[in-house]
Chains A and B, each alone.
Chain A
Amino acid sequence: MASAASLDVGRLVQEAEALASAVRGALGPRGGQMLLTRPTGETLLTRDGRRVLEALNLGPPTARMMVACVSRHHSMTGDGAKTFIILLSKLLRGLQAILDKREGSPFCEDIQRRESYQKHCHSLKQISQSLMTFQTHILDHIMAQDLRKHFLSAFSSWEGEISRDTMESILEAYFCGRIGNSHQKLLSQLSCDFYYKCISFKNGRNEMLNLVNEYFVELHSAVTGLPVSNSRILEGFVLHRDFAVYCPADGDIRMLIVTESIDSALSASGLEFVVNAEVQYQASQVWITKRTEAIMKHLQNNNIKVLLSSVKQQEIVTYYAKISGISIVECLSSEEISLLCKTTGISPFIPTRDNICSEITETMIAKFCQPLVLGSKRYVHLGLTKTCAFQPHCVIFCGPVHGVTEQHASAFHGAFKMLQQLFKAVDLSDGCEAQPETPVNGQQLKTSMAETEKQFIDFSSLVGENPSCNQTDLQKSADLAMPIVELESDFMFSALIDRGSSVRELQKPPVKCQHPSETWIKNKSEPVVTNHRICNDAMTAIENTSTSVVSKQLNSYKHTVQSYTNVVIQAGSVLPVGGNFEILLHYYLHSYAKQCQQPKITLISTVIADALLSIPKILYSTTKENSFTQVYFKATSALQINQQLPMHQQGLESVYCKYQLVASVLHCVAKLLTIDLIIGIRRLPQKTEVNDSEEDL
């Protein structure tokens, strides 16, 4: 028995709008808190859109799919769940309007002969395809060509360092959306401190962020019943266990990791132990005890002071440890063990017959290892001396209720995910590889283009990824790149002039896949042409720039930094908060739509552009001094005369996160629209019944 229903766009719109209305109240700095209750009776406070959407327990499969898309996006970037769903609902609403119009719509042109249902499906499919085309080609292109000049760099100098001020404004803006204004200041300070304390040298940034994100559970502890202001950062690790044995020690403390019981049992699995006589049994018991004693003595002789164990050790082991002055922490989780191993680079110690006498090398050294009381629980506080790129620190979250500490912890985690995204770059070459076919007359051009591009990517990666490279390196790579650029650009210019007219002719629908790629190639050549000039500018700029703070001074140097490579979004690109990204993208999409010759893309661009505006609309709906219309008017008039956008707020946000958000939303819509039939099945437990149901179908 199965029920099937065709996909109704109206329903999709309703569902998305219902979801959006659930989270709208929590969007932006003036939004409120949400209170979730779990079936167990716990309460959770949150402003996290993902949590809210997941807590709704929705029935409709398409709505569930939307929530799943939001969750996936959120778990990747740590941000943007609310914006995602609002954008999604507006976009669907816009697309529905197109579908309803029918007449004159480019998505319903040459399909008159079909039935209305099939026609409907066909136009949905068309929209979906155009969305994907838009996402893969046009979005990148607009980002690279138009938006890029507005990006600011979070890095204060060529060394790829982030100044504290910039970091604070990025984090503050993030926490503003995640926890509201009550404790935003405190948490952004806390996370900023954490970032700078954990990073040991600047090249280890990505490694540090990866570790923090992977092991965040191990790196934070929560205490309820205390005021939030008691939250703090502690140096070292807090292991979430108490000492089984504690023997205070001073100075450098040598520690060992064990993953199995030190005391051996009478018989191991798969083996048999045969007792022939009572004396034999007693002797073997004595031998086991003696062996344990010998191991512990050996550890003592090797000056081991602390034993970190992932399993519970026998009482006999703790007894001998106490006698030998060795502290034991047992039942550590496997994550804690692997975190310790990763940061210190040692591997667990396995006592065998061979190494029982030799010297123990796999040890780590701690400055201190002492009990720590947090709330009512006793933990082990560990300060390691020699570590990798990550300087161990951990966060203690305090709050009156569990809901608050959990909210702060997840926001803090999200902030570090967001930082990870901030340092990512988007390459234009991604789209290049994805090109299915190239026009015949463009073949030559294409290959030479690829070459130049390769050079530039090398060049950019040299600058982007190895920030410590000095000026001579830059000069060298620029020298390498420049002759080719000059050569190719001349060639390309002539080629483009020729193609200028042919492109126009080609722009009619029949080969619909080709068009975007061509416009894309045409436009891409522009940054390349300007590249070598800007390179020179950048060279001179390096010589006479001192480190300066982005959020305060916006000089032209910053923009050249952003626009001299082929990277769509350079690592560390940021924009001021308050809907700036949305307004910019809206403006440029509109102007693109005006030029664009292809009706489908024009339509899609307009719909996306309009949907984007919904975010600043909500953000400015509650403030007194700035209404949305004022802000929008100011921004567009500034853009028309090629000026910078006026800034209303201090905060900054990562462009990469925003870019990902738009891309994910487009993906989600495209996916939703390709569905033509929703079939409800009932899972039946018995096979015979399954057969029946097949017959029914």
Chain B
Amino acid sequence: MSRIEAKKPSLCTNEPLTKERVSFSLSVLSGIVKSCYGPTGRLKQLHNGMGGYVRTTSQSSALLGGLSITHPVLKVLTASVQNHISRFSDCGLFTAILCCSLVENFQRINFAACTVTKISRHLLSLCTDYLKSEACGCRISVDFDSIKTLLSLVHSVLASKPACMLNKTEANHLSTLVLKAFLLTIPHTVETNVVLGKCVIVPVKDKRVMDSTVFPGLLIEIPESQLARTFPVIRVSSSTIKMALFCISLSGDLSNIGEGTVIVHHGISLEVAVLDQLLNLGKQLINDQVDLVVCQKVIHPSLKQYLEEHRVITIDRVGVSMMEPLSQMTGSQPIAALHSVSPTCYGSLKDLRTESFVSKNFLHLIPNDTLVCSLILCNRNEMAWDELKLACQTAEHVLQLTIKQPLALLGGGCTETHLASYIRHKSFTLPASVLKAIDCSRTQYQLVADAFSRSLECVACCLEHDDGEILTDMVYGHFWSVQSGFPSDCNWSDLVLKCGCGICSNQQNLNWTVLQSQCIPFTPQSCSNEPSVNSTDHLVLDCFTAKCSGLQVAVETTNLILDLSYIVEDQN
């Protein structure tokens, strides 16, 4: 019985942004993301209230993935942040906070949406042009000859995730490991198309963070019983280990029967026939002096036993995800035939060892040319481990993006305040021809530019969660924070130590003011030739590509939201 149910008519909302519901839910969301930002950000606990898994996090990817958002306007906002994260991993909170505060600040000035859109698009192009130009004062180029800037990049990523619960030494240790693992994935010989290798993260929970290590090559977990059976390895050939990699099942099942019928006469067993073929294959492998057989799927026990009798080590059920690194690392081609295996398909390994951690046993495949490495990641508990894994993956992605575009932006709020003062300055010196092209008055332009700068500064302010005072200097336009509880008769220069990114120290006379107080616009100077750039201390750096894109996505999303005039919600 088919029943036709009438569709419910859709719910329409006119001028959605003026409604109470939007501004309320927007302020809730912006409150959540703002409080998570930075190394001293507050943690959020996500749970379903029914005894499910509880996640403690401050990372945007986990947070936004866990929130269930119903209002369509906020859906647009979170979807664009999530899409940004899936592309770049980093700067998700930055994008979310910037987008929220842009919407709030632009709504406050209350201009027609198309005017704001036009001006903010122009402001965005000013920002991106500045960031991409050589004259940009808030970026530094990454030098691959020394690992210092790379290490700073990784360290900044790990340090900005407080839910990983890392102390200073642990953070340093892990930063080194992540960087080491990344460097292992870079091929030695450079061709036209550089393909990076892979870093496989192996989870080991209930151990100290300091026990984490990096191994070149792959670690494949094997049960202890098998370990006892196969070792010690007696190598047939002295130099390298010959390896065959299978991507088809060696379990003896019948494959590719076709669409028709197969009639089997009584007394004939196809299984026996297939097993016969398998054993023939085993014979060929032994004749070819293969030392190690790895199979993506299952190996038939008889074949396994046969091979082991002839001192061939077998590993099966490695799964499809391991196939690519395995073939990349050993140079072997996945074999899909049961007969006449071409000898060109075999790969080679440098060595084979066993490693054990806590209660797990691993077979360690050591390649000749490292392209693949395994990072054993330890952390005290499950929750912190999840958070740490995400942070390490983000750091790895940041390094990959940096190798494509070897630039980094100053972190710790300095890029935001620097850009804000650049925009303020520019909005006062804009030629009239540009204003005419945008079709707005200078006052309109300056008001929007001010709201734009305020939003950028607002992102920087979110780094401070403990009632401290936030200052900016009038030379570089950097971010300085002062802890709360300072005596009121003090000079600012007695209180500040270093700027947010760590490049500037207070030795210069920098003319500090409180951030977001009215001040005269000035051209922020570049400080890339400061001596501290080359000092040994960690700088706080952000990924250039991710932050640039985050900025653009935030402004574009804001424009989208402001331009909304009508919502049609499907109620079905």
Contacts and interface: CB of A to CB of B under 8 A. Distances in A.
Interface of A: 22, 25-26, 30-39, 41, 43, 45, 52, 55-59, 180-182, 224-229, 248, 263-279, 281-282, 285-286, 288-289, 314-316, 318-320, 322-323, 375-376, 399-404, 683, 685
B344 interface: yes
Is chain B's binding surface mostly helix, strand, loop or mixed? mixed
- Please list the 6 inter-chain residue pairs (A to B) with the smallest Cβ-Cβ separation, ordered nearest first: A265-B258, A32-B565, A267-B260, A225-B83, A400-B80, A319-B336
Contacts of B117: 181-182
Contacts of B113: 32
A285 B84 contact: no
B564 A35 contact: yes
Contact of A265 (B85, B256, B552): B256
Given A269-B260, A282-B276, A319-B335, A43 B83 contact: no
Given A227-B556, A266-B257, A275-B268, A37 B566 contact: no
A327 to B, nearest CB: 14
Given A37-B570, A225-B86, A400 B557 contact: yes
Nearest to A263: B256
A403 B76 contact: yes
Contacts of B16: 35
B120 to A, nearest CB: 10
B272 A278 contact: yes
B230 interface: no
Contacts of B553: 225-227, 400
A281 B270 contact: yes
B236 interface: no
A402 B10 CA distance: 21
Interface string B1-43: 1101011111010101000000000000000000000000000
B110 interface: no
Interface in B189-247: 193, 247
17 contacts: A32-B113, A34-B565, A39-B570, A43-B79, A45-B560, A56-B10, A56-B12, A225-B553, A269-B258, A274-B265, A278-B268, A281-B273, A282-B277, A289-B339, A315-B336, A319-B333, A400-B79
A53 to B, nearest CB: 9
Contacts of B559: 182
A277 B83 contact: no
Given A224-B86, A278-B273, 16 more contacts: A22-B568, A35-B72, A35-B568, A43-B79, A55-B10, A56-B9, A267-B259, A273-B261, A275-B270, A278-B272, A281-B268, A316-B336, A319-B247, A376-B87, A400-B83, A401-B76
Contact of B262 (A39, A180, A275, A683): A275
B549 A43 contact: no
Contacts of A224: 80, 83, 86
A281 B262 CA distance: 11
A323 B332 CA distance: 11
B276 A278 contact: yes
Contacts of B423: none
A331 to B, nearest CB: 16
Nearest to A36: B568
Contacts of B565: 25-26, 31-34
A226 B549 contact: yes
Given A33-B564, A57-B9, A315-B336, A266 B277 contact: no
A552 to B, nearest CB: 19
Contact of B567 (A34, A270, A289, A323): A34
B117 to A, nearest CB: 5
Contacts of A39: 570, 572
B87 A225 contact: yes
A265 B84 contact: no
Given A33-B564, A35-B73, A323-B342, A181 B114 contact: yes
A37 B12 CA distance: 10
Q: Chain B, interface size: which category?
A: 35 or more
A649 to B, nearest CB: 13
A251 to B, nearest CB: 15
Interface of B: 1-2, 4, 6-10, 12, 14, 16, 72-73, 75-76, 79-80, 82-88, 113-114, 117-118, 121, 193, 247-248, 256-265, 268-270, 272-273, 276-277, 333-340, 342, 344-345, 549, 552-553, 556-557, 559-560, 563-572
B564 A34 contact: yes
A32 to B, nearest CB: 3
A286 B274 CA distance: 11
Nearest to B12: A22
B83 A37 contact: no
A57 B10 contact: yes
Given A281-B273, A400-B556, A275 B259 contact: no
Contact of B260 (A22, A182, A270, A315): A270
Most buried by B among A225, A273, A286, A315: A225
B82 to A, nearest CB: 8
B545 to A, nearest CB: 11
Contacts of B560: 33, 45, 182, 400-401, 404
A38 B549 CA distance: 28
B259 A45 contact: no
Contact of A272 (B88, B261, B277): B261
A282 B273 contact: yes
Contacts of A52: 566, 568
A272 B263 contact: yes
Contacts of B79: 43, 400-403
B394 to A, nearest CB: 15
A605 to B, nearest CB: 34
B9 A35 contact: no
A264 B339 CA distance: 16
Nearest to B7: A57
B562 to A, nearest CB: 9
Given A57-B7, A225-B83, A402-B79, A322 B338 contact: no
Most buried by B among A58, A288, A375, A404: A404
A685 B259 contact: no
Contacts of A274: 262-263, 265
B72 to A, nearest CB: 5
Contacts of A35: 16, 72-73, 76, 564, 566-568
Given A401-B76, A683-B4, A315 B83 contact: no
Contacts of B1: 685
Most buried by B among A56, A278, A403: A278
A56 B264 CA distance: 61
A43 B270 contact: no
